[in-house]
Amino acid sequence: MKRLHTLMFGWEYPPIHLGGLGVACQGLVRGLMSNGVKVTLVLPNPDAEREGDLDVLYPTEEMLNHVHIESILSPYDTFDSYGMRIHTIPAGRQHIYGADLGEAVAQYTAASVEMTKDVHPDVVHCHDWMTYEAAARAAKYHAKPLVAHIHATELDRTHFHPNEWIYNRELKGFTMADKIIAVSNYTKNILVKHYGISPHKIHVVHNGGTFPVAETSHKMHSQYGYKKQPMVLFLGRMALQKGPYQFLDMAAKVHASRSDVQFVMAGDGDMLGGLIDESVRLGLKDSIIFAGKVTNGEAQKLFSQADCFVMPSLSEPFGLVALEAVAQGTPVIISKQSGVSEVISHGFAVDFWDTAKMADCVLTILRDDALAQQLSSEASRVVTQLTWEHQAMAVRSLYHNILHT
């Protein structure tokens, strides 16, 4: 039987990644290859981690005015954030990247056919709005079906106050696609309700992962056997979508009852300075640590040390970070407005705005060792089932269905 070949357009990919998109893209690529699918990956730069027979394509000097580009774009860009970073590029090269976000995306899109003209795919697959137009052009050139994968919408990133230009790019991509993969039913419902997409066009494939699972729980005691200072963890981009201010509000409420609790906020982003100021205003300056951006290894250590992990996202299409927490035996409190709440049944799910309830859940976990242990052991079972190899089987089946209907 002929091996399926997918031409996949991505934007970030390890080692370059600012959030979950790059990690999810890599996980899916690995999962597809383990299921016998050939993957040709198109990226804005050449720095992807290579493995197996993965082919990586990227714009060359000849395609882009004889100047090599290492794109400064991020999948979480806004016009403002891109506009700030463009000034860090030497003046003689700024025209290469584009004067604004739209022009920068256009550069990548313009090279899409030239980059892929010698590829012979069965299907074209693209991740999030920056790649949709490029993939659509390639799909038309190769006369192959287009699958649009949505990891986060503009509505998620902006708490339903979208930049209309980006929203319209998303809508155009969803319309052009033959099929859409949404990372959760939560996201599928947004596409149906706010973009007018037919539910029959959308297939839900939850994200997976390969998580190092903790062997035993040691949350309540130090290496000397004494009860350690309780620690509550936030890990994510310091951006509106992730609910960092809701975390601080919850922390202040917990602190009023338990002044011994230590809070750690790990991650970076435009809101970091304001969050530090707010923590001081709330009287948390001696009870909170802003750890900045952490490596994967540092994140695993934080999860293993935390007594609970809180993900108060305002709108979270999935939330891989919560699975990373439960894999380390860490009880989780997650936003009801998240896709991961569809797969973690043993944990507290709270509306993002209900910081009083969130604080009550934290206090319950900290005082009830037996409950914390139960949440830890039951929730961690999900990570043994939700692997990328398994989730990629659903994507491969979708490819087959598209090609044989």
Tell me if 222 is assigned to some domain. no
- Do 144 and 286 have their domain in common? no
- Do 49 and 128 have their domain in common? yes
Residue 147's pLDDT is 98
- Do 168 and 130 have their domain in common? yes
Phi (first) and psi of residue 280, to 5 degrees: -65, -45
Any idea what the CATH number is for the domain that residue 363 is in? 3.40.50.2000
Characterize 372-381 residue by residue with b for buried, 16 or more Cβ atoms within 10 angstroms of its Cβ, and e for exposed: beebbeebbe
Tell me if 224 is assigned to some domain. no
pLDDT value at 25 more than 90: yes
Question: In degrees, to the nearest 5, what angle opens at C-alpha 367 toward C-alphas 362 and 369?
Answer: 105
Q: How many CB atoms lie within 10 A of CB 140?
A: 13
DSSP one-letter code for 282: T
- Do 91 and 9 have their domain in common? yes
- Do 109 and 252 have their domain in common? no
- Do 200 and 251 have their domain in common? no
CA distances from 319 to 179, 183, 246 (A): 23, 10, 16
Q: Which of 59-63, 121-125, 127-131, 230-234 has the lowest mean pLDDT?
A: 59-63
Task: Give the model confidence (pLDDT) of 137-187 as tens digits.
Answer: 999 999 999 999 999 999 998 999 988 989 999 999 999 999 999 999 999
Total domain count, the chain: 2
pLDDT value at 113 more than 60: yes
- Do 153 and 247 have their domain in common? no
Tell me if 53 is assigned to some domain. yes
CA distances from 233 to 138, 258, 285, 351 (A): 43, 15, 16, 18
Task: Give the model confidence (pLDDT) of 295-317 as tens digits.
Answer: 889 999 999 999 999 999 999 99
DSSP one-letter code for 67: -
Average pLDDT over residues 239-247: 96
Query: In percent, how much of the chain has pLDDT > 90?
Result: 66
How far is Cα 234 from Cα 358, in angstroms, rounded to an integer?
Answer: 13
pLDDT value at 127 more than 90: yes
pLDDT value at 200 more than 90: yes
Residue 63's pLDDT is 61
When the pLDDT of each residue in the chain is averaged and rounded to a whole number, the result is 87
Residue numbers of the domain that contains 342: 231-385
List of E strands, 166-273? 179-182, 202-204, 231-235, 262-266
Task: Give the model confidence (pLDDT) of 250-281 as tens digits.
Answer: 999 999 999 999 999 999 988 999 999 999 99
Q: Which of 35-49, 61-75, 112-126 has the lowest mean pLDDT?
A: 61-75
Q: Taking the model in full, what pTM does it have?
A: 0.85
